[in-house]
Amino acid sequence: MGLGSGKGKTILFGEHFVVYGLPALAAGISSVTTAKLTRVRSFGHTLVDNRPAMPGYKKEKYEEQKASLENILRHLNIDTTKMGFQIDLGGDLVCASGIGASAASCVAIVRSLNDEFKLGLTEEQVNEAAYEGEKGYHGTPSGLDNTASTYGGLVWFERDLGGGRPKFEKLKLKKAIHLVIASTGITASTKVVVEAVKIKKDANPKWWDEISEKYIQLVHKAKEALIQLDLPKVGELMNENHELLQELTVSCEELDNLVKVARDSGAIGAKMTGTGRGGNMISLAPDEAAAKQIAKALEKAKAPGVWLTSFGL
Ligand code: MEV
């Protein structure tokens, strides 16, 4: 039997911008996806998906999930024409757009294969194989999600647009920072939303250059504010990042509503996270008690999923 796991993640700053080589900050969260690989007598491979998920998520991602597994097997040279196994996915990460569910499952699957077939993969190679899996979900992943999922913690990430290894740095904070995550319940296709941004960018390069410049200034300030644990500044920058994402047209009414509820109930800052046009919103809480109060307000506003988490240590 082979076992593996991958962490969920949340993008604090930089979704979509990261696809074009701009820096991003992401944090692994404590919830994980697990993979258990069991050999079977027949040839071929099956995936049994027992992960908790938002309604509709698994159906929406089914074809992409299949493509992703094929990519991983091809990358690791695992041929199931003469042997067979079943992989069971589980864990406590509730699958929803924006929480890194696809990357967490890729990392978990790669680790279970590594365990069963004694591949001797380093963490870097696990990350690379998971990146191949992510390509099944959308053609041009930045690599941020699988990196956050493989290594956990708080990461500063820059994609190498030339196809080389990404630059990433793990950041440690002196204190954990509390986040409240809420789901819109809407599953979005990363492929579709990333493509929509590309069309907008290609149609108006001047606009893209201006918004990118604003974002670059913002993300450097965010890194500094996080290291200094200057939460009011981090919150202010999250709010500004949300506005830039609205300008990219990747937010939506449901996300904007959740952002407003969080801010009105004590969050220092709030923004959509991940792909957008559905998926999740994250909000920054000054402390654990405030996080519980924000979560209550989001539940009262009928957010289909609400989770408390922390990052930084
Ligand atoms: C998706 O979680 C994040 C995006 O920036 C895509 C990517 O980084 O590959 C939208």
What is the rounded distance in angstroms from the CA atom of residue 253 to the CA atom of residue 265?
18
Ligand 1 binding pocket includes 14 (Cβ within 6 Å):
no
Residues 6 and 135 both lie in one domain: yes
Q: What are phi and psi of 3, to 5 degrees?
A: -120, 150
Both structure tokens of 177: 């920072």
- Tell me 313's DSSP state: -
Residues 134 and 38 both lie in one domain: yes
Ligand 1 binding pocket includes 279 (Cβ within 6 Å):
no
For residue 208, how far is its CA from the centre of ligand 1 (angstroms)?
17
Residues 150 and 224 both lie in one domain: no
- Is the predicted pLDDT of residue 139 greater than 90, yes or no? no
Percent of the chain scoring above 70 in pLDDT: 100
Could you say which of 140, 156, 171 is where a domain stops?
Answer: 171
Closest CA to 172 of 226, 232, 233: 226
- Is the predicted pLDDT of residue 138 greater than 90, yes or no? no
Q: Please give the residue that has the higher pLDDT: either 187 or 106.
A: 106
What is the rounded distance in angstroms from the CA atom of residue 30 to the CA atom of residue 187?
22
What is the rounded distance in angstroms from the CA atom of residue 115 to the CA atom of residue 243?
44
Residues 153 and 61 both lie in one domain: yes
In contact, 182 and 271? CB cutoff 8 Å: no
**Residue 177 CB partners (closer than 8 Å, separation 6+):** 226, 229, 231, 234, 284, 310, 311, 312
For residue 42, how far is its CA from the centre of ligand 1 (angstroms)?
37
For residue 98, how far is its CA from the centre of ligand 1 (angstroms)?
9
Could you say which of 126, 156, 171 is where a domain stops?
Answer: 171
CATH of the domain at 50: 3.30.230.10
Q: What is the predicted pLDDT for the residue at 96?
A: 83
Q: What is the predicted pLDDT for the residue at 292?
A: 97
Interval 95-107: pLDDT, tens? 987 889 999 999 9
Atom of ligand 1 nearest to the CA of 97: 2
CATH of the domain at 277: 3.30.70.890
Residues 41 and 185 both lie in one domain: no
What is the rounded distance in angstroms from the CA atom of residue 239 to the CA atom of residue 272?
9
Residue 167's domain spans which residues? 2-171
Instruction: Tokens 């493989």: give the residue.
Output: 150
- Is the predicted pLDDT of residue 222 greater than 80, yes or no? yes
Q: What is the predicted pLDDT for the residue at 30?
A: 82
pLDDT band at 275 (very low <50, low <70, confident <90, very high): very high
Mean pLDDT score, 18-28: 96
- Tell me 95's DSSP state: B
Q: Is 294 left (phi over 0), alpha (psi -120 to 50) or beta?
A: alpha
Domain count, the chain: 2
Residues 66 and 17 both lie in one domain: yes
Residues 270 and 205 both lie in one domain: yes
Mean pLDDT score, 134-151: 92
Ligand 1 binding pocket includes 194 (Cβ within 6 Å):
yes
Interval 224-254: pLDDT, tens? 999 999 999 999 999 999 999 999 999 999 9
For residue 84, how far is its CA from the centre of ligand 1 (angstroms)?
33
For residue 83, how far is its CA from the centre of ligand 1 (angstroms)?
35
**pTM, 2 dp:** 0.91
- Is the predicted pLDDT of residue 9 greater than 80, yes or no? yes
- Is the predicted pLDDT of residue 262 greater than 80, yes or no? yes
Q: Is 266 left (phi over 0), alpha (psi -120 to 50) or beta?
A: left
Q: What is the predicted pLDDT for the residue at 54?
A: 87
Residues 105 and 184 both lie in one domain: no
Mean pLDDT score, 171-199: 93
- Is the predicted pLDDT of residue 313 greater than 80, yes or no? no
Q: What is the predicted pLDDT for the residue at 124?
A: 95
Q: What is the predicted pLDDT for the residue at 140?
A: 85
Query: Nearest C-alpha to atom 2 of ligand 1 is from which residue?
Result: 274
What is the rounded distance in angstroms from the CA atom of residue 241 to the CA atom of residue 182?
17
Q: What is the predicted pLDDT for the residue at 238?
A: 98
Q: What is the predicted pLDDT for the residue at 312?
A: 82
HEC assignment per residue over 193-253: HHHHHHHHHHHCHHHHHHHHHHHHHHHHHHHHHHHCCCHHHHHHHHHHHHHHHHHCCCCCH
Q: What is the predicted pLDDT for the residue at 106?
A: 98
In contact, 280 and 182? CB cutoff 8 Å: yes
Instruction: Tokens 């108006």: give the residue.
Output: 204
Name the pairing type of β-strands 84-91 and 44-49.
parallel
- Is the predicted pLDDT of residue 4 greater than 90, yes or no? yes
Interval 48-78: pLDDT, tens? 999 999 888 999 899 999 999 999 999 999 9
- Tell me 162's DSSP state: T
